[in-house]
A = this chain, B = another copy of it.
Amino acid sequence: MHDQHSPKQNHLLDALPVTEYTRLLPMLELVEMPLGEVLYESGGQLKHVYFPTSAIISLLYVMENGASAEIAVVGNEGILGISLFMGGDTTPSRAVTQSAGFGYRLKAPLLKEEFSRAGPVMRLLLRYTQALITQMAQTAVCNRHHTVEQQLCRWLLLSLDRLSSNKLSMTQELIANMLGVRREGVTEAAGKLQRAGLIDYSRGHITIRDRPSLEKRSCECYTVVKTEFDRLLPSLHVIAS
């Protein structure tokens, strides 16, 4: 299973018309993305864009005092490095691998060239960017109004959607960094979910036991984001094998 890699495991690449896909294919480079790897540093130049297939990447904003918050996640539904084609060559956010896996990368000049054709690739990337914007905006609202437990549920669901299994490897410490809350807060929330039988938590390994209940405990933010992704990028589901 894991030894059969294909760019089509990334939904954006999979949604490309044959012409564009075959043009890009020889330039795509399979890369492993280990847990914790920093793909982009805040303010750094973007040398590649990434199309994750099995990895999940967090976009984090880190503040002067070291506190951080996740503003979006990118998995097999998307692309990492939108600021490249949006016009800035750098990004003010940090990109960290949140869940180890694989992805394909493309050299920055090649993507820019493809984008400048102003064809299907450009339109698809812009639609994805629009969906990503929605995710960021909803994160802002969520940070303002929702409890840690609700946000934990949202976060677990967003991660699950980008994985093929119902297990994820992630310590509470790391989740706390993503959500921008205390580790103890995550412990408490995760404990409640565990006692309620929704998840199993054991030293960095989470198994989801009852996804429907998780959705019930989550704030609306999860559904809003998911619905908007589905609306903007329906081909990802229609075409997906």
A: residues with CB less than 8 A from B are 59, 61, 63-64, 67-69, 71-72, 82-83, 85-88, 92-93, 116, 118, 122-123, 126-127, 129-130, 133-134, 136-141, 143-145, 180-181, 220, 224, 228, 231-232
Whether the Cβ atoms of A145 and B180 lie closer than 8 Å is yes
Whether the Cβ atoms of B137 and A93 lie closer than 8 Å is yes
Q: Which residues of B contact A220 (CB under 8 A)?
A: 63-64
Whether the Cβ atoms of A126 and B69 lie closer than 8 Å is no
Whether the Cβ atoms of B86 and A127 lie closer than 8 Å is yes
Whether the Cβ atoms of A123 and B69 lie closer than 8 Å is no
Smallest CB gap from A42: residue in B = B224
Interchain CB contact (< 8 A) of A61 among B87, B93, B141, B180? B141
Query: Nearest Cβ distance between residue A146 and chain B, in whole angstroms?
Result: 9
Whether the Cβ atoms of A63 and B140 lie closer than 8 Å is no
Whether the Cβ atoms of A88 and B232 lie closer than 8 Å is yes
Q: Which residues of B contact A122 (CB under 8 A)?
A: 118
Whether the Cβ atoms of A141 and B86 lie closer than 8 Å is no
Query: Nearest Cβ distance between residue A88 and chain B, in whole angstroms?
Result: 5
Expressed in whole angstroms, the Cα–Cα distance for A55 and B122 within the complex equals: 32
Expressed in whole angstroms, the Cα–Cα distance for A63 and B133 within the complex equals: 17
Whether the Cβ atoms of B130 and A83 lie closer than 8 Å is yes
**Known contacts A88-B231, A118-B116, A136-B137, A63 near B145 by CB under 8 Å:** yes
Q: Which residues of B contact A127 (CB under 8 A)?
A: 86-88
> Can you name 13 A-B residue pairings with CB atoms under 8 Å?
A59-B137, A63-B141, A63-B145, A67-B145, A68-B141, A69-B141, A69-B144, A71-B136, A87-B232, A88-B228, A92-B228, A139-B140, A145-B180
